[in-house]
């Protein structure tokens, strides 16, 4: 699926009918929009990276958001088969550096469609929910 088609599809998600629980990190829930992204982009590994970490680095849930902000902006960047995942306390499209970096990792390889994919992490003290922005 092309990047712009996938982004247009994600913008249609305005809530979730099903809370999807990560099978190893039971604290992490994700929404239908994130599930759709993972299926269409072939990126179930992205949810695992948020829940468990990557390359031996522990994931951001629960450490990066709870006790600090209860909210994080996740930016998955993919270009030329490589990329990064950064969790920030805030993010402004015009100021790419705003917000404290809560967690980050480089991806040596990714088959994710190119672009900057934005997600939110919201914590209620018991669960951390990963969602697409239109579901917030």
- Kindly write down the DSSP assignment for every residue of the chain, as one continuous string: --HHHHHHHHTT--S-S-PEEPSS-TTEEE-HHHHHHHHHHT-HHHHHHHHHEETTEEPSTTTTSTTTTSEEEEEEEEETTEEEEEEES--BTTBTT-S-EEEEEEES---SPSEEEEEEEEE-SS-EEEE-GGG-
Q: Please tell me which residue, 5 or 66, carries the higher pLDDT value.
A: 5
Task: Quickly name the fold that domain 3-12+21-135 has.
Answer: Nuclear Transport Factor 2; Chain: A, (3.10.450)
What is the pLDDT, as a whole number, of residue 69? 58
Global pTM?
0.90
47-86 pLDDT tens trace: 999 999 887 778 877 666 655 557 889 999 999 999 999 9
The mean of the pLDDT values for the chain is 89
């Amino acid at each position: 699926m092309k990047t712009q088609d996938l982004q247009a599809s994600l913008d249609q998600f305005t809530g979730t009918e099903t809370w999807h629980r990560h099978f190893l990190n039971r604290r992490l829930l994700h929404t239908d929009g994130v599930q759709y992204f993972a299926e269409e982009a072939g990126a179930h590994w992205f949810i695992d990276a948020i829940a468990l970490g990557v390359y031996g680095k522990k994931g951001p849930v629960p450490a990066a958001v709870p006790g600090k902000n209860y909210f994080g902006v996740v930016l998955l960047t993919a270009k030329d088969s490589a990329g990064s995942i950064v969790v920030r306390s805030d993010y402004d499209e015009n100021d790419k550096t705003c917000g404290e970096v809560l967690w980050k990792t480089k991806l040596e390889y990714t088959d994710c469609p190119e672009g900057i994919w934005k997600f939110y992490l919201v914590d209620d003290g018991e669960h951390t929910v990963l969602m697409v922005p239109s579901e917030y």
